[in-house]
Amino acid sequence: MLYGIYLAFCFATPVLGGFLADKWVGCHRAMIAGAIFLMAGNLLLLLPALKFVYLGLAFTISGTGLYKANCTSLVGNLYADHLHKERGLTLFYAGMNLGAALAPIFYGIILISLGWQYGFLLNAVGIFIGLILYLFKIKSSELPQENNLFKNNFLSVISILFFVLIMTGFSDSAFYYPAAFEYFLGIFGSAIILLILIMAIKKEKMIRNQIFAVLLLDLFCVFFFALTLQIGSSITMFIQLYINRTFFHWQIPTIMFSAFDPLFFVLAAPVFAALWSALAKQKREPFIMTKVSLSFILLAFAFLSFMLAAQTHQEPVSLLWVILGDFFLGAGEICLAAPVLSVISQFMPKNLQGTMMGVWFLAIAFAGFLSGILAELTDSLNFIHTKAMSLSSFNHVFLAMVLLAVLLSVISFAAKPVIKKWLIRQSTSLSPMSHSH
């Protein structure tokens, strides 16, 4: 429950941090403050007392809220046109996935050989190095102009400290009284979506339709990540039970398999970026919904690989099936994540970009919740008690995932005319996306 609350807050607070940046402090200041509080939170986690652990987690929640969405918005705002936005965000997202690929291996070694506290210390040092490099390498003249209300640093610092005080106190209380926050994500998420819809209704028609389009894209992201997050539940169980994990007389720890998906994203990202770039030069770059539809097809191929593995009737099952499935998972995420982030950066007004980037991260939080519901199809409780789950049950589960991914691919492609009508600016200088297929 504690872990669930922590994750819910980490994915929910970027909406508020993005709103704060949009309205008052700007992405640049919010991101710097976020890094500072992330460092502080990890340093507090070095201390063994429970009160410092809870306070450290609360600080990392506040830091994440200020950092996550605003960092993504800042990257998108560095580029003027759609093609460069998407390529830049693909590189940025590949960097995130590189960290996700290395973390289970690198931190696993540190925790086993040195201890947990050195993992938290390394977090703080790593963030500090990143912040210093950013401050020295980025000149203010290179940063995009922001229309934030507070032009001077003093008012920005006061508003950021107020945000951190509220969020830290709120999340710290949640750790002490977890039962009271059981439905936090649902209530908070519903309230945020309602506020976004009210905000959209007050905007002019063109911006209102673009907000609706982004919200619909976020909904597709919920289902996509709900399926890919099976890598941490039903797929992990399948690997643990049936996959031959022996490599040169060494049994690979199951946790390390979670590195394959992001690793394949990193390896395939330059290939897809080059492909989209080449097609764009020929004015044949796929429209966003075509890419979303393709991402679900690749997801279907991933679960088809796992399903075929479950049909081999051989134990242990070959490791190659898992590698093939993870390859398709990574390729599918390339076709979805960076293009959707690029659309948010391109079509949302500057005073809404941080907020809408935060809504995208909120969509991943809902995906995590839905992922847990889908994982129940594998009857995990029965596995825990009996350790006797059959290959055929995994086969049926993975088949259901294949069919769901194909259905979502069809639905997303069918939604293409609506999204295209909502997104494209009706002006003489049309977006590059308006010429796409």
Placement of tokens 């991933």 in the chain: 302
pLDDT at 210: 94
Separation between Cα atoms, residue 373 and residue 272, nearest integer Å: 32
Burial readout 89-104 (b: 16 or more C-beta within 10 A, e: otherwise): bbebbbebbbebbeeb
What residue segments make up the domains of the chain, in order of their start? 82-102+205-423
CB-count exposure of residue 313 (10 Å: 0-12, 13-18, 19+): exposed
> Cα–chain-centroid distance for residue 66?
15
Contacts of residue 335, defined as CB under 8 A and 6 or more positions apart, other chains included, come to: 272, 291, 292, 294, 295, 298
Q: By the 8 A CB rule, do 148 and 73 touch? A: no
325, 303 Cβ separation under 8 angstroms = yes
8 Å CB contact between 67 and 13: no
pTM score, whole prediction:
0.83
Contacts of 237 (CB under 8 A, 6+ apart): 378, 380, 383, 389
Distance CA 87, CA 72 (A): 13
Which run of H or E residues covers position 429? Answer: none
DSSP 388: -
d(CA 332, CA 351): 30
Which residues does the chain have with pLDDT short of 70?
140-141, 147-149, 313-315, 377-390, 425-437
Domain 82-102+205-423 grouped into CATH 1.20.1250.20: yes
C-alpha torsion angle, residues 96, 98, 103, 105 (rounded to 10): 170
DSSP states along 316-366 = SBPHHHHHHHHHHHHHHHHHHHHHHHHHHHHHS-TTTHHHHHHHHHHHHHH
Per DSSP, the three-state class of 431 is: coil
pLDDT tens digits for range 390-400: 677 788 888 98
Residue-level pLDDT at 379:
54
Angle 262-337-218 from CA coordinates, rounded to 5°: 130
Place of tokens 């297929």: 437
Tokens of 121: 């210390």
**Please, are residues 244 and 317 in contact by the beta-carbon 8 Å criterion?**
yes
Hey, what amino acid is at 245?
R
Interhelix angle 27-44/2-20, nearest 10 degrees: 150
Q: What is the pLDDT of residue 371?
A: 83
Q: Which residues contact 203 (CB under 8 A, 6 or more apart)?
A: 211
Dist CA 57 CA 38 (whole Å): 9
d(CA 3, CA 9): 10
Q: What is the DSSP string of 70-89?
A: HHHHHHHHT-SSHHHHHHHH
Q: CB-based burial of residue 109 (10 Å sphere; 0-12 exposed, 13-18 middle, 19+ buried)?
A: exposed
pLDDT of res. 355: 92
Rounded-to-integer distance, Cα 287 and Cα 339, Å: 9
